C-alpha cells in the first residue's frame, strides 16, 4: 500500500507469532486438564515431562508472548490480545462447571453481563456451548484479526469486519472439530476420537442429537457436564 508503514509486514508477522505462542500455551494446559495422551500424533507434553513441567512451559510461553506483545508499542493491540488470555480461562471454567453454580470462582469470573444472563443461558445448552467455544477458540482468532487491522491503522469498519471474520472462522472451526471427534480418523486428527464424550462434555453433535430424541436426552443427561 502506498502509505503503509515500512515495518508493518514484520510487525504483523510478529503478532502472528504471539498468537501462536498463546495458542500453544493453551494446548499445553488443556492436555493436562483433559488428561489427553496425544497431540498431533505425538505424545502430549505432560506425558513426557510431567504435569508440572507442562504447566510451567505453558506459563513461560504466555510470559514470552506478553513481552513480545509489549514490544509492539501499541496500547490498543496489547489490550485486545490480552483479552484472549482472560477468555481462555473463562472458557475452561465454563467447560468444567455450570456458569451459575453459586461458587466463588463463578462469581469472580462472571460478574459482568455474562453472569447476568446465566440463568437464561442455562436453559439454552447450545447458546452456552457456543459462548464457551467463543471464549476457548474464537476469541483467539477474532482478537488476532482485529489486532492485525489495528496495526495497519485501518478504518473502524475494517477493524470491526476483521473481528467478525475471525470470530466466525473460530466458531466454525470448533464446530467442525467437534463433529470430527465423532466421525473423523484418529490418525489424521492426531488425537483420540470421542475424547469429549468420554470426558462427559456436551458438544454440538450430542446437543443436536439429544434435541431430536427425548430418550437419548434422558440417557445422556446424567453423563454430560
Tell the residue number behind the cell numbers 466458531, with chain if given: 171
* Spans of the chain, pLDDT less than 50: 1, 99, 101-102, 105-106, 109, 115-116, 118-123, 225
Beta-carbon contacts of residue 158 (< 8 Å; ≥ 6 apart)? 149
In angstroms, the CA 40 to CA 44 distance is 9
pLDDT, residue 208, reads 85
pLDDT digits (tens, 9 = 90+) for 77-114: 999 999 999 999 999 998 887 545 445 544 554 555 55
Grid coordinates 489495528 are at which residue? 150
What pTM was computed for the model? 0.81
* Cα distance between residue 80 and residue 75, in whole Å: 9
* pLDDT, the chain, mean: 84
Place of cell 430418550: 215
Separation CA 152–CA 30 (nearest Å): 33
Amino acid at each position: 500500500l502506498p502509505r503503509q508503514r515500512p515495518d508493518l509486514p514484520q510487525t504483523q508477522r510478529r503478532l502472528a507469532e504471539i498468537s501462536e505462542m498463546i495458542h500453544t500455551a493453551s494446548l499445553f494446559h488443556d492436555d493436562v486438564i483433559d488428561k489427553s495422551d496425544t497431540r498431533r500424533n505425538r505424545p502430549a507434553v505432560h506425558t513426557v515431562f510431567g504435569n508440572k513441567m507442562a504447566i510451567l512451559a505453558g506459563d513461560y510461553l504466555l510470559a514470552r508472548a506478553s513481552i513480545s506483545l509489549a514490544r509492539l508499542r501499541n496500547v490498543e493491540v496489547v489490550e485486545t490480545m490480552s483479552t484472549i488470555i482472560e477468555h481462555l480461562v473463562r472458557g475452561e471454567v465454563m467447560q468444567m462447571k455450570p456458569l451459575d453454580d453459586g461458587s466463588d470462582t463463578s462469581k469472580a469470573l462472571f460478574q459482568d453481563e455474562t453472569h447476568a444472563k446465566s440463568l437464561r443461558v442455562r436453559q439454552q445448552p447450545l447458546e452456552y456451548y457456543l459462548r464457551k467455544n467463543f471464549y476457548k477458540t474464537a476469541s483467539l482468532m477474532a482478537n488476532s484479526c482485529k489486532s492485525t487491522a489495528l496495526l495497519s491503522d485501518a478504518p473502524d469498519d475494517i477493524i470491526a469486519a476483521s473481528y467478525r471474520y475471525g470470530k466466525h472462522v473460530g466458531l466454525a472451526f470448533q464446530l467442525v472439530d467437534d463433529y470430527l471427534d465423532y466421525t473423523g480418523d484418529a490418525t489424521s486428527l492426531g488425537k483420540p476420537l470421542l475424547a469429549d464424550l468420554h470426558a462427559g462434555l456436551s458438544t454440538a453433535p450430542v446437543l443436536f442429537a439429544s434435541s431430536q430424541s427425548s430418550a437419548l436426552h434422558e440417557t445422556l443427561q446424567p453423563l454430560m457436564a
